[in-house]
Structure 1
Amino acid sequence: MEVNASILISVGLAAIVVRSMRKFLDLPIRTPHLSRLLGYFWVPGLILYLFSLLIHWKTDRLDEIYTLFLLAMVVGVLVRVQHYRPARTLLLAVVPYALYALIELLSGALSTGFLHEYRSLFSNSQGFATIWLVTFVLIARKQKKQLEAERVVREAEEKERREIAAQNAQLERLVAERTSSLTQQTEELQHALEELKTTQAQLIQAEKMASLGELTAGIAHEIQNPLNFVTNFSDVSAELVQELEEEQQRPDRDHELEAELLADLRQNLQKITHHGQRAASIVRGMLEHSRASTGERQPTDLNVLADEYLRLAYHGLRAKDKTFNATLNTHFDPSLVKINAVAQDLGRVLLNLFTNAFYAVQKRKEASPPDFAPTVSVATRQLPNGSVEVRVRDNGTGIPASVRQKIFQPFFTTKPTGEGTGLGLSLSYDIVTKAHGGTLEVESEEGQGTEFIITLPA
């Protein structure tokens, strides 16, 4: 019965081996079917145990047979999962011990005397196989830990890659949205630019043809922008007023919100005023440049005309800025003959030149020491060939050489946005050169002043 009981002990040890092997090799994950089959390891042991009871056979060969079966089962499992590096190492560990057990079993079955004769050799072989087994089991454990560490690193790297991929996808989505937005804005700007070019071409053609109807149509298009701003800010202001009224009717009024609404309303009103003044400025410019004229040439005294428009320009600027003062110098040639010209058109030219001159000296005054004296001069002269000359000079900011050739182009201006349309000098140039057959030239030194020279045939 002691020998038979040893089979049950071997089954118990087999349970420990199977459980450890399942866990060590991750068999439920790698080979679920094989892992389930291993659960029947006890069946052969039970059969041998019952067989020994039935025939009353007491021999330690039954225990050796079951041990050999267990080793064969372990080798089979390791061969099945030998792609796993620790499994290959365990296979190297178990095979020598399994061969030893097989040889010992066969030797004992064939000749008991042979086994006793070479007991020392078998004992040494068993010890070597056992040391070999333990050594490679330790190596396999080390390999498994190394693989686990590598797996943890791979999972961390994979997680990082997934996070980076998600971030990249998010960035790509944001870039795509931003690109789409920029593309839409670009298309809108391109469309606006095309409309602006179309409007510019229309206005230039209107000026060339001197047609009041076409000029008014072009200016109406230009005035639409400030009018749109006024309309939009008015609508928004009305909504703010409604919100403010609703807030004031609440029992728990939010004074900070009311202050914020009032601040927004004040800002909108300022913008409405700004764009309203801009629209008014465009209208005034339209009226000045398209005022009805007979177009008939009449004898015109340039001395009287220049003096009249010089005072008009100066007092017009003083009405806007009472702190502005300038010295007016006039040098009129008493021998100047009258010329046949459209006095109203020439007056418009002189008004543009004087207005620009006062603007230039005012800007220089703002950036100069207190002792700077703004000065605008106008002089007339009878030329030997019978032509007359008018010079308008100022000691203002001057015109940079880089833009001097462009100042007579339509819509070109050196003034900040909103302070000039760029049409004044262009219109003046056309009136002098095309309508009266004269010349309009400019001499300027940046930071020192500018002089416009008008030459008209008698």
Structure 2
Amino acid sequence: MSFILPFLVAFFLLPFVQKFLQTAERLPEWHQRIRIGRLIAFGLLLVAVVTDSEKLPPPIFFGLLILVAGPAYLLKEEVPNARLLFWMIVPLGVVFLIDNLAEYWTPRFYENYDTLFQTAKSIVFVLSFVLAIIARNQQREFNKQRQKLDQEEENNRILEAKKLDLEYQVAERTAEITKQKEELQQALEHLKATQEQLIQSEKLASLGELTAGIAHEIQNPLNFVNNFSEVSVELLDELKSERARPKEDRDEGLEAEILDDIFQNLEKINHHGKRASSIVTGMLQHSRASTGKKEPVNLNALADEYLRLSYHGLRAKDKSFNAKMNTFFDESLPKVNVIPQDFGRVLLNLINNAFYAVQARSLSQPENYMPTVTVSTQNTDQGIIIKVGDNGTGIPEELKSKIFQPFFTTKPTGQGTGLGLSLAYDIVTKGHGGTIELDSVEGEGTTFTITLSV
């Protein structure tokens, strides 16, 4: 036997087996034996080469095979494919053992059947090589599956830890909420209802943008109430003084005039009080969830109301902002059956967007630019037409097809949810059987046209 075969076993097979079986972790004693045996084999093979000895390579070869077969046999139940590795080594050792015994004990028989022996060695060598490749591939696949399972276990462990942490946080938060239950029960129920849908949050957000506008609109009638109340108090003082005079000196004409003035003041106080009340009622109606019930609504009054509220709301945020508001309301417009809360949100969203667009353009345009928002209504044979237009920044052509998609917005992060126009589209088309169309030129302005069948 040539020294090349034991050399190949020592150089390639032993490291392969150590790595394949992971003997360093599973069988540290055998790992040490293989390492020492490998070094001894290299030393003996060097002696065999120097002395040109043919007796040393066979025992070195079989000794190395024993070193390989030992851990493979011991780990056949623990390591997948260790059994395959063992049966790869055994035929190799048996065939080469028979070959060496025949060569030394029956040399004439060996010479006669030399071809048979060489063929057998070649077959078993190729078979062992193939089995080694198969074992290696299967081991790799097993390692991949093992890593995948380990990763899944780790993920499950992390998820379980997060779940426990989340349950703890939920329990802690629940305890806090329970303490405030009596005070916040009504508000909490309302919050739970609104939290069920992100769209409802968008509706309430639109109302929040009008807070300053609402305050401005309420302040005007309150100022009238305060002024007329003060004047009425002065008139009452004057009437009281007149009544305190002797009867023959009292001016009954003056008293009647004062009483008429007080009566007129009270009528004005009542009128402006009702005006403030109607504003609050309208905003409360806007904030409530839709009842889904249609009722006759004056769209001219509704559009005019939201136009002024939206403008004053923006003015409260930016005192330097000014815009021209054009209204072209068709006086022949009949009351239209709509869901007031829902359709009000549509108008509010379109008007808010219009003011946002003209404000954005005013920041980059010369002084001669006049921001303008136009709202119009028209009673036609095709139906009721409501238009909300502006001369703002306009919408780029490539974005027009996306403008009604949920969560799409051209506003900076934090200034828009992308639900407003999507919600408006659904309310008009699905809730009222109408249409909403966009006409926009970038840099010139945008117009939304709503058509409702009568």
Q: TM-score, normalised by structure 1?
A: 0.38
Task: Please report the TM-score for the alignment, with normalisation by the length of structure 2.
Answer: 0.38
Q: Which has the higher contact order (CA 8 A, sep 6+)?
A: 2
